[in-house]
Structure 1
């Protein structure tokens, strides 16, 4: 049941991410920062894609994804159309991985130590869902302020 709930939430928010990125009227605004806004929507989008592909796709689904976290924040001017394709691919890998995940695996220790203390897979998946929602909110405000 929890796996299906996580899948529903992650899909909802990844689809909302697609809508937010697509809603930018000026594509160059995806990459702008201003004042206290230190991360562009484009970079936050790349960060979410890298995060989910690493911690769900590679760690749980053995997708072979190799993360370059530095590029998530330094790469600029990726076309909106490419970002949208990358989000669609992320949705696919998240769904394929979660479709194979058994409920009992949620109680097992997560394969990667990300925080100071070890966590269960279930705890870490909830963290990933809230992390996505947090940055999705930032992207929404970025779009409304900058675009």
Structure 2
């Protein structure tokens, strides 16, 4: 994939992430623990923010960031409004960073080890993985939002 395709796909999914978080009917709904699931939508969103701020913003774009991965899953770091602000900032960081990547840079070795299955990891391969990771958790968030909303509103 070229940087233009990555820009299009990351932008699409980050906008979908924002829309999902906007559609939670209340702050509490973000954190509802559903039976049979591990992470509520709020924690998954925090995780996506930390993941992309680290692996795209910090590593490729040199945007300062200190990640606390444990807190992404174990704390309510952001309110719903703060999450939306963080997603907006993340969108800007990711898209501006991707815009700096030419074809030669895409083929360079990614400076951090991310994928256990691949001893050599190009920037392109790592971005493909990060996009799949974003889309995967976006589906989890959509599922969580729909079920948690039904539980909270009593509509089944």
Assess same fold via TM > 0.5. Answer: yes
Structure 1 stretch displaced more, 10-19 or 23-32: 23-32
Partner of residue 143, structure 1: 145
After superposition, the CA RMSD in angstroms is: 1.2
Once residues 50 and 76 of structure 1 are traced to their aligned partners in structure 2, the CA distance between those partners, rounded to angstroms, is 13
| TM-score, length of structure 2 as denominator length | 0.90
CA displacement, residues 44-101 of structure 1 (integer Å, 9 cap, x when unaligned): 0000000000000000011121111111011127311100000000001101111111
Structure 2: which 5+ runs fail to align? 150-156
| CA distance, structure 2, for counterparts of residue 50 and residue 42 of structure 1 | 12
Q: Which runs of 5+ in 1 are unaligned?
A: none
**Normalising by structure 1, what TM-score?**
0.96
Which residues of 2 match residues 57-76 of structure 1 at below 5 A? 57-76=57-76
Moved more, 130-139 or 107-116: 107-116
Q: 1:77 to 1:66 in 2, by over 3 A?
A: closer
Q: Which runs of 4+ in 1 moved over 4 A?
A: none
Task: Tell me which residue corresponds to 2:54.
Answer: 54
Match of 1:36 in 2: 36
1:82 aligns with 2:82: yes
Q: Please state whether the residue corresponding to 1:146 is helix, strand or coil.
A: helix
- 2:126 matches 1:124: yes
Distance 2:114 2:54 in 1: 12
Q: Is the 8 A contact 1:28 1:77 kept in 2?
A: no
Contact 2:43/2:72 (8 A) holds in 1? yes
TM-superposed deviation, 1:115 = 2.2
1:16 aligns with 2:16: yes
Over alpha carbons, which structure has the higher Rg? 2
